[in-house]
Amino acid sequence: MRDHSTDVFQTSLAGETMAIFCGPTSNKFIFSNELKLVRSWLPRSISKALAQQNADPYSLSYKLADQVSHKFLKLDCIQQYVGTMDSMVKQHLDEFWLPFDQVKVHPLAKEFTFELSCRIFVEFSNPSPELIKQLRDPFFEFIEGIFSTPLNIPGMPYYKALKKSALVQEKLFEIMEQRKIQLSDVEQQQQQQDQVVYDRDLLGQFLMATDEHGTSVRKEDVARVIVGFIFASFYTTSTTIAFVVYFLSKHPDIYEKVLQEQMEIKKTKQAGDLLTWADVQKMKYSWNVICETMRLRPPATGGYKEVITDFTYSGFNIPKGWKYFPDPENFDPSRFEGSGPPPFTFVPFGGGPRMCTGKEYARMETLVFLHNLVTKFRFKMVNPNEKIFYNPDPVPAEGLHVYLQPNS
């Protein structure tokens, strides 16, 4: 393998020797060979921190957990949460943005997306601030060390990350036991009234699930999926929200187009009405803006695959001067109009049979947040030259500090 190439090169990441595949041709090759040459995988250090290391993909519990979680994230199920997202965004902005003339977007976006994840995945019926804090504090701390050098030695960031990850799992186990008692009581009451028992959050779905063999989902598999879902849904989405604000601050003309689209939707709502899935479907230009944001500032720098059989990848040469996007450094949402970019040039949610199942959840969350944000505020960066750090994913160095002005 060549040491330096625009197509593929070898390096070391997260304590593992890896081949890095780059560009549309490589994307197509990898996604087209899922389960043939490669399969989804996480480095051992990240897998351990995310409670994935002891998972048995051949067990009935693992398979049932995957079935339940995939069904939960299907569009016909997840679209019912649009109103919940809208209500929570409104409350968040009124409490943490409206009273101030300056805010730091990224920390606030992390707080909001984490609370929403807790509501959808753990405790739909109004999780208490104390419950959220008990999950959030160790979760945020373990996120700080998950991508650090994987040295499990006292005092090292990775050591602390593992300790905090264990605390999150223990808290989830405790919540599960409490919910089992609650669900048992509700089930008895509703069965007496010939009602179907249903629970609106993912944890409740897990606790009620059984397969044809009577197998239920092990608590370790419940924690594995929920920790992974919370990590993916709050970590990447909060970054995207922050950089949408970043680019709209730098491009007022694009902000005005987004505002116009969102105001057209707002005009159709009566006081107290919440957004619906039909409203989200109308936010086409706003989604183009979000996609262009993810193209220029990908919230995750890449995905991991494990080679399952030897193969050769060579002979893919890119002609000198050829580009996948015209003017690639420019922020231009119009490149996503019509049929959009060429296949495999834009893959923020992966591709092939293992495309991210949370795509629609992320789309809904970011669009609902953007709708409320632009219809309520105008914003300008306090430091227009605020730097971006990569650790390994992009982070605004100062939290994206902005001035706020209420939209009249």
Q: How many CA atoms lie within 13 A of 167 on its CB side?
A: 17
Q: Which residues of 2-37 are buried (b: 16+ CB within 10 A; e: fewer)?
A: eeeeebbeeeebbebeeeebebbbbbbbbbebbeeb
- The residues, any chain, with a CB within 8 Å of residue 93's CB and separated by 6 or more, are 372, 373, 376, 377
Residue 84: what residue type? T
Contact 48, 14 (CB under 8 A): no
What burial class does residue 274 get, using C-beta atoms within 10 Å of its C-beta: 0-12 exposed, 13-18 middle, 19+ buried? middle
What angle in degrees, to the nearest 10, is found between the helix axes of 157-192 and 129-145?
A: 150
Residue 22 known to bind ligand: no
CB atoms within 10 A of CB 328: 11
Give the separation between CA 283 and CA 234, rounded to whole angstroms: 21
Give the separation between CA 66 and CA 73, rounded to whole angstroms: 11
Give the separation between CA 8 and CA 312, rounded to whole angstroms: 11
Give the separation between CA 106 and CA 299, rounded to whole angstroms: 12
Residue 252: what residue type? P
Which tokens in the block code for residue 91? 């409350």
Give the separation between CA 80 and CA 73, rounded to whole angstroms: 11
Secondary structure (DSSP) of 302-361 = ---EEE-S--------PPTT--SSSSTTS--GGGGSTT-SPTTS--TT--GGG--TTHHH
Contact 217, 92 (CB under 8 A): no
Give the separation between CA 184 and CA 170, rounded to whole angstroms: 22
Kind and range of the H or E element at 13? strand 8-13
Query: Which residues are part of a known binding site for heme?
Result: 356
Instruction: Please state the residue numbers annotated as binding site.
Output: 356
